Every structure is written in C-alpha cells, then in structure tokens.
A and B are shown apart, each in its own frame.
Chain A
Amino acid sequence: MSLSRRDFFKYAGSAGAGVAVGAAPFDLKPVAAAATTLKIKEAKVHSGVCPYCAVGCIQLIYSKGDKIIDIEGHPDTPHTLGRLCPKGAATIQLSNNPLRPTKAMYRAPGSDKWEEKPLEWMYDEIAKRYYDTREQHFIEKEKDKDGKEVTVNRLEAIASLGSACIDNEECYLLTKLNRTLGIVYHEHQARI
C-alpha cells in the first residue's frame, strides 16, 4: 500500500495537513514509523538533487518499479544535513501528478485545441520548422562597420530560451546545438 503524504494525514485523522503535526491531538509517531517502514520496504534507493532552489539538497529517492514512492533528504549531505524545505519535500508530486501531461501535443495555427501526436511526428515536424526557418533566414555574410564583407554565419530568426532547471549536460548539448546552428538569441532565466 502506497500512502501519499496527504493520504497519510487523512488516515491519521489530522485536519490541518501541512502545519498541524505538532498540534495534532493524536500521537502520530508510531503511525508515521509504521507507514515509513511499509513505504520504503523493498524499495530501491537512488541519489537525487532537489530541483527547486539552488542550495542543491541531496535527496534519497525510493522507487518500486517505475513509481517513486518516497523522497527525503540525504542526511550525510554536508551543506544540508539532510534537511528539505516545503518545496523539496513536495518533489514527489512533480512525478506523481494527475495534472502532468504524458503525451506530445500539437496546436495548429488558429485552432482552439491541442491534439495528441506521436513523438516521432513531432520530432519530424519540429526539425522541418528549424530547417526551413534556417534556410530562409540564415545570414552567412554581411558588412562590418567599415563596410567590409565578413563571414558571420548567424541565424537570428530562431530564438532559444531556457533553462536553469535542466542538467549541466543538457545545457551543454543545447549550447552546442544552438551555437553550431548559428543561433544568437540564446538565453535562460539567469536574470529572472
């Protein structure tokens, strides 16, 4: 039985989920211990990094099959000592969330709805848009301030924004892709 935090509070009979642990009229400790033991028993544990602010709290992510069942702070982390803030403690709902889209979607110009599309179709169409826009708008040479023609190999018609929430390796791949294509509107939310 997998208990989410909210289920647990309902189960334990506390009305003030999130803030009322200390004030709850019941002794929750044995219930909490039992629930925790049940939850992570036979689960696999993985090392995670909290995806919210930049303190970089290391998390222990427990999974069973392809489901994350619990996320908690890693107590050995030198700069966090295992603590998580409210956002870090909610990380599990980034994965286990009914509002989360799991299909690729397309919205035609002027349409009033999203349509689900196969990933392969999406990748093909997106690649075509990149190709066509690059072919149409690429600036290979232009005059410099002295009027001399120079090679600039620049693509100004496609802009790329993001992200401070992707991994270093992903940032590098995006930089490599954009810069080798000639993209110069190349930014992320460092200033936001």
Chain B
Amino acid sequence: MTTNLIDIQHSDVVMCTNNMAENHPVGFQWVMKAKERGAKIIHVDPRFTRTSSVADMHVPLRSGTNIAFFGGLMNYAIRNNLYFKDYVVYYTNASFLIDPAFKTPADLGGLFEGLEQTGKGGTDPHVAQTYNKSSWKYQLDGEGNPKRDLTLKDPHSVFQLLKRHYSRYTPEMVERICGIPKAKFMEVAQLYCSTSGREKTGTITYALNLTQHTNGVQNIRSLCMLQLLLGNIGRPGGGVVALRGHANVQGATDLELLYHELPGYMAMPLRDAHPDLKTYLEKETPKGGFWINKPKFFVSLLKAFYGDAATKENEFGYQWLPKRASADAYSHQHMFVDMYKGKIKGFLADGQNPAVGGPNAKLARAAMQKLDWMVVKDIFVSETADVWRTPGTNPKDVKTEMFFLPAAPAAEKDGSLTNTMRLIQWHEKAVNPPGDVTSDAEFFVTLAKRLQKMYAGSKKDRDKGFLAANFQYGDNPKEPNMELVLKEINGYATEEMKDKDGKLVYKKDQALNTFAHMTDDGKTAGGCWIYTGVTVEGPDGKLINKANSRKPADEKDYLGHGWGFSWPANRRIIYNRASADLKGKPWSEKKKLIWWDPEAPGQTPDKKGKWVGLDVPDFNAFLAPDAKNGDKPFIMRADLVGAFFGPLNDGPFPEHYEPIESPTRNLLSKQQNNPVAKIWSVPDHKNDLAPLGSKDYPYVITTYRLTEHHLSGVMSRYLPMLAEMFESHFAEISLELAKELGVANGDKVTVSSPRGKIVAKAMVTHRLKPFQIDGKTVHQIGVPWHWGWKGVDALPGSKGDITNDLSATVADPTVYIQETKAFMCNVKKGEV
C-alpha cells in the first residue's frame, strides 16, 4: 500500500474494487469516515455486498474485465482533458520518447511488438511464446538520458502512445466487454475523474479481486496508471490501497518467502544470468534511483546469512546461494505440478493448507500423496495434514510419511507482524503454549541446529555456507530471542565504524539506525534493508524495539508515527514528494503533506532549507526542489518518475484479454487470451480447460471470502464462535439463473468445472445480476472458498466441499498468480 488506512479519510472519492467492508471491516471505518466528511464512494464489483450497501454507486462488472474498465477511465480522462497536466508532465514518464520500432496492440491486432515463438511449440501455444522487448525502450540522447517532449505531442511520446492505446477503450467498448451500461460508466467516469488536479484526491482499494487473473499484475498497473493520470499518488487522500488478506502477507513478502527474491526485494540469483557476485550486482543494480545502493543491501544480506565466513575473497558467500535454473520455475503452481510429476520428495507445509487453499486443490492433494515425506506445522490438524485420508482415498495407498507439529498462535509467542500498510507491530507472548506446542521459530532453529550437527565436519564446499549460518539467538538453547532476530533483520555493524573525522558511529554489533549506513564491504550485516530503523540502540546500550512503540496518534500527528514502525524509515505515505509541486509547495493547502521550508536549518550550520510537514520525507530531507533530481518523487525507479510505460512480461501497457476460460470472444481484438500467460499441461486430465463457447460450462464463476471465515478455514472452521455463523457451504446464484435452472433458495446444487465438482446450497439472491455482454446474457455465480471436510463435528455447516477443486492451474506471466476470480463452470440442481 502506498498510503495509510488512516489517510483514506482525506479522499474526495473512494473507489473500492474489492469487498472491503466484509473482508477488512476495521480498516473500512476510514472509508466511512471519508464518507462522513463528504466523500463519494464507488463500489466496482460483480456482486452487491455490504460495501455496495454504503456506496453512492454500485457498478457491477463481469469478472476478468478490469483492464477494460480502467482503460476506459483513462481514455475518458485523456479525451476530456481531465488529467492533472503538471503532475503528468513532470512526475511521470508521459513525456519520454519511445523507440519508433515499438508498436501497440492498436497496430498489431491485440499484440505488442516483439512476440516470438520459443521452444518447440508443444500442444499449447501459450507456453511457447514470449515477448522480445528490444523495442520497449526509451530513445536516448547523446549522454544516455531519455529524450523528452514536455509538450507531450511527439507521436512516439509515452503520452501519445498511451492515448492511442486507450482510444479503443470507448464507453461503448466498456459496455460490451464489462457489461456496464454506457450511462452508468459515464457517471462513474465523471465522478472518479473529478479527483484530478490540485484540490482533490481519490483513492482506489483492491485485494485479490484484481490480482488473481492471468493478467493480474497488469490489472494493478492499470489502476496505478489511472492514479498517476489524475495525480493521486503520494498525496493525502490519494494512493493505492492494497489490502492483504492475511496478518503477515506483507511481512512474509518483505522477508521473501517467495521463490524469486531474497529479503528486501532483490532477485534470487539465476544460473545463466548471475554466475558470480560481480555480474549479479552489475545486472541487478540500475544506473539511477535509490536502487543504486543495492550492492550495500545485498552484501549486508550475505553477511547476515553467513556471518564471519562471508568475506570479500569468497564473494561474501555468494556461491553458496542456490542458483535458479530458470525464471519460469519454483512458484506455488510450479511446485504442485512438479510434485505431482514426482520431482519433489519432501515437503514442509508451515501454516498453510494447500489441500484447500490453492488453485486446483485436487491436483495439490494428489501431488502431496505422491511425496516420500511431509511435515505440517499448524494450529489445527488441517486437510493438508490429513491428506492421506482425504475422503475417497484409502490411507493404505498413500505412502507419504507424515509428521505433524502443533503450532502456537501469535498470542503465545513474541514477534512482529507487518500489516497491510507496511506497519511493523510487535506482539508479546501472553501465555506459554500448551503441551508440545511450539512456535515456528523454535522449530526452524531446532531443525537448523540438528542439521548443522549432522553436517559438522563436512569439508564439502556446498555445506560450508549452511554450517556458517548462525541459528542461536540469545542464551536459551530452544527458544530464540526474537528481538535479537529482529535486530539481525534490522542490521548491525560487524566491526567498529567511524566517520571520516574519526568519530565513533557504531560499536561492533550495534544496531544500525538507517539503511543509509549500510556498506558493500562487509562492515555491516542486515537481513532486510527496508526494515532498518525498526530497532535502534538507546544511549544506555539497550535495544529499543520500535515495532513495540505505542504512542497514540494526535491532532499534530494524525498518521501516528509513534505507533509501531512503518517501513521504509517510518514513512507513512510513500512517494510523498509528489504531494508538493515542482517548487516544493503543497499543490493545495487542503492537501498538504510535506513541503520545502527554505528558512528551516539545513544539513550544516551554513545552509538553510529542509523538507518538513506531516510525514517523513520520501528522500533526502535536505535536497532542495531546484537541486538536481529535487523534483523527482518516484525514487525507487531508475528514471525517478512514475511509469505509464512500464515493461512487464506481457507488455508495457495493460491490454484487455479474456480470462483463459471465458464466456465470450475478446471483443477488443482477435487475441483471445494473454498471449504469454502460463498454462500448465498436467498428466491424467488434472488440468483440463473449458474451451471458448463450451456448452458444458456456460457460466462465469468467481470465488470470494466471508467476514466470519478465514481463507482455507484452518483459523475459523474449528472455532465454534465463527463456525456456527454459516449453516452450510453455499453458492450465490441470481434469481434469473435460478429460474432457468428450476432451483429454489436452499436447494442443493452441483457446481462443476473440467477439474472437479462441489455440492453446495443455492443462495438465490438479488445480489448478483446477469450481464449483457455484446447483446448476450451472461450469468455469473459466486462461491466462497473457506470450506473443507474438517471442522466442528457438532456444527455440520462448518464442513463442506472444496471450492478450489474447480479452479485451474494457469497463471499470470510476470508473477505466476492463479486465475481464481474468473473461470467457467456449470450449475445443476441436486447432487449429480
């Protein structure tokens, strides 16, 4: 999230694209607060929910058509000159000129320049295509800087390309694709574009509604681009509100429990691209922007992993890190396909229930049944732990050896969680866990130390890094001291550090105050540079844990900087330089956040001038607006500006394609699906897909969540207080479809896809309406996905079929996210 939940109250228009009222109820109070202050609320969602019930406008759109909608809004803003011109010209790459060889889907029938066949083809064209991005680049001047046209008139300027690209996204086209009547679309376009300019701001919220598609990343980009066009990023009441679904999705992502990165958003090395540290740093360090500091962060990470064994002579242990064989490998979906094919032998499922929670859950269960061994650590014995006795399976046939370790919930351990607005908050151990229940930390360090004992004395190079890694934190032989782990994440000096005048800056082992002090020569270690500052050493030498600071917000500090620690550098709204104009003055008094005070004491006694205001400035606080790059807000980008033109694996602009399974041909171009989406072929018909126009699977299905249940249900189906709230698994079906099917409210229905089927109760409702797509009626149903075969015995409604048995193993080409928000199904009355 670029902004902060508290700041939503300052929005003039809030556009929720997800069901925030039900899935993030406590955060939604800030949307309600904005409404009290006069804001208008728009809810864009196929279903009418409690979010719609308090919105000024509910705009149902067919699942899987978000880019058509956002593209339509961008077209409306450009055509009607409603974009925020100064912001667009100076704070984005709209004025940059692109290689004349670059062509957009407007020229190439739905494709970008550079689509190439790769590999041998195979049965599916999708797996064998990729984009050659050689024309997706800026024109450079003699000094290597991008050429610009500040009038935005050059036909090769990003702005003109953007304008041309989205000129096809007319209100009529939006109506045909999304099923939003033109009049309604014009109303929403007018309302949301009213947030353009100096005096107003708007915010857009999203969750997995936008991400779980085969163009998931482009969905997010399209809403970010709309926000840039209207000048809404980095300003109070603006921003992008990304709502994470689990308590530490943000933290687990920052600390990189992810296949493709290392902590702090640095690439996991690839065999072919990154053979040694020097090449890695050369390729991965951009020439401009804050990431020029990457070598300092990366070497500090290697020092945190390998300690004293990481030296300049051995590339700080770089060769010990595993090198990925390919960028197209090891993600969540790759994992279960490869497990099914027998490539994976052992598996740890830690606090995750893939037997229920992931796409194509039937495939996941079959895959786990093929393992040699498996460890599950969870609070309850989930379907994943019991996968060997999945209903319909004979345990005798499952040779997987199973280990179950009971886990402690947050209340029974010390540690920090990072919430959806990058806020790191500490929780204290309130009680000891019962019986043999332990924290996950205790399990990880115990396993590590036992393995180190088994490897002790190994002379093999490949074991040296693991043997060098420290897993003892504090004196307790079992439980690690979690504040010391946090300190390692924060970073510390590995030796005494002095400034150029010989003055002591850090003692050996002292926690670093800022990532600005990290070095690339091994003098500092740090497990995740963006967290630096979360611990500092007080004057008495004691560690201060800022994640545990609890100073309430007040009138002077509405963002609450004394409550927890928000990465990076306790900044609450990132890119906040954009809240001021080129000269450093707030765009408007009403929307001020930080500004340049020319009279404030400067960096040295002889200088004056500093950025001051209501938040921590998002760059050097002493960099004057008229200094070099003092007017560039987007510091994490090499060119320091917001990107309309931003090359991903599937294009530099978001383009509408139909979901892999869809009820209609693509009405925008002849290219039906994302041409580089990932579609796995899995043996034994484990990933069959419904073809376009399939009579067997005529209805769109979307999956979603409920207030009283949580994700795959492990943290709700066993709790009577929550499990009692639903009498049954259910499928939401419109009155119109129910009539066609002869189904009454409460009847049992069978929902099927080419992958599987489930039985649930029909909830016949006005909350869903059929769409008119290009003159044809398209029905869409909604099914929550919290159920599995386990729960509270006395509450039969706590148990039910697994919705994810219906979804497919297909993915976005940039991050390999699944498409569970839009695919095709059939619905039949009764159990069939």
A residues with CB within 8 A of B: 5-6, 17-18, 44, 46-59, 61-63, 65-68, 71, 76-81, 83-91, 93-95, 97, 99-112, 114, 118-119, 122-131, 133, 136-138, 140, 142, 144-145, 150-177, 179-192
Contacts and interface: CB of A to CB of B under 8 A. Distances in A.
Nearest to B489: A172
Contact of A51 (B347, B397, B409, B434): B409
B112 to A, nearest CB: 24
Contact of A109 (B400, B416, B418): B400
B271 A152 contact: yes
A59 B431 CA distance: 14
B438 interface: yes
B323 A54 contact: no
The 5 A-B residue pairs with the shortest CB-CB distance, nearest first, are: A56-B419, A167-B415, A102-B435, A163-B351, A78-B560
B351 A165 contact: yes
Nearest to B306: A180
Interface stretch (B79-87, B230-238, B328-336): B328-336
Main SS at interface, chain A: mixed
A133 B346 contact: yes
A110 B776 CA distance: 53
A173 B505 CA distance: 28
A161 B352 contact: yes
Contact of B471 (A133, A152, A171, A173): A173
B64 to A, nearest CB: 17
A110 B396 contact: yes
Contacts of B26: 55, 57, 80, 83-85, 88
B292 interface: no
A174 B350 contact: yes
A119 B443 CA distance: 10
A153 B315 CA distance: 15
Given A119-B438, A163-B252, A190-B253, A18 B725 contact: yes
B6 A79 contact: yes
A167 B455 CA distance: 28
Contacts of A173: 441, 444-445, 448, 471, 480, 485
B183 interface: no
A152 B446 contact: no
B350 A124 contact: no
Contact of A168 (B398, B432, B437, B486): B486
A65 B443 CA distance: 24
Contacts of A67: 431
Contacts of A81: 29
Given A112-B396, A158-B345, 18 more contacts: A46-B429, A47-B426, A54-B244, A85-B26, A86-B725, A93-B719, A102-B436, A104-B404, A118-B436, A140-B461, A152-B323, A157-B346, A168-B254, A169-B486, A172-B263, A177-B447, A184-B329, A188-B258
Interface residues of B, number: 168
B215 interface: no
22 contacts: A49-B416, A54-B245, A55-B5, A58-B550, A67-B431, A78-B552, A78-B559, A90-B719, A97-B718, A109-B400, A130-B346, A130-B451, A152-B271, A157-B344, A159-B346, A161-B350, A163-B351, A173-B441, A173-B448, A175-B256, A182-B466, A189-B711
B444 A86 contact: no
Interface in B549-596: 550, 552-553, 558-560, 563
Contact of B489 (A102, A169, A182): A169
Interface in B31-59: none
A73 B310 CA distance: 45
Interface stretch (B128-136, B137-145, B618-626, B815-823): B815-823
A112 B398 CA distance: 9
B399 A109 contact: yes
Contacts of A167: 248, 251, 410, 413, 415-417, 427, 440-441, 482
Contacts of B508: none
Contacts of A114: 381, 402, 404
Contacts of A55: 5, 24, 26-27, 419-420
Interface in B278-326: 304-306, 319-325
Contacts of A189: 246, 249, 332, 352, 357-358, 711
A190 B258 contact: yes
A49 B247 contact: yes
A61 B550 contact: no
A13 to B, nearest CB: 18
B675 interface: no
B421 interface: yes
Nearest to A89: B721
Contacts of A175: 255-257, 262-263
A171 B395 contact: no
B548 interface: yes
Interface string B467-500: 0010100000000101001101100000000000
B300 to A, nearest CB: 14
A56 to B, nearest CB: 3
B275 A150 contact: yes
Given A100-B406, A102-B435, A162-B351, A170 B247 contact: no
A65 B410 CA distance: 17
Contact of A181 (B245, B246, B358, B466): B466
Nearest to B402: A107
B406 A183 contact: no
B722 A190 contact: no
Given A130-B346, A165-B715, A171-B251, A191 B482 contact: no
B380 interface: yes
Given A105-B404, A171-B251, A179 B322 contact: yes
Most buried by B among A44, A97, A101, A172: A172
Given A100-B380, A153-B319, A171 B252 contact: yes
B405 A187 contact: no
A189 B357 CA distance: 9
A125 B334 CA distance: 28
Contacts of A63: 430-431
Nearest to B396: A110
Contacts of A124: 450
Contacts of A48: 410-411, 427-428, 430
B795 to A, nearest CB: 11
Given A18-B724, A161-B352, A66 B431 contact: yes
Contact of A56 (B304, B375, B423, B715): B423
Contact of B248 (A46, A168, A179): A168
Nearest to A107: B402
A185 B329 CA distance: 8
A173 B248 CA distance: 15
Nearest to B454: A131
A145 B273 CA distance: 10
A56 B417 contact: yes
B426 A165 contact: no
A106 B401 CA distance: 8
A85 B23 CA distance: 9
A175 to B, nearest CB: 6
Contact of B815 (A66, A126, A191): A191
A109 B436 CA distance: 23
A110 B389 CA distance: 10
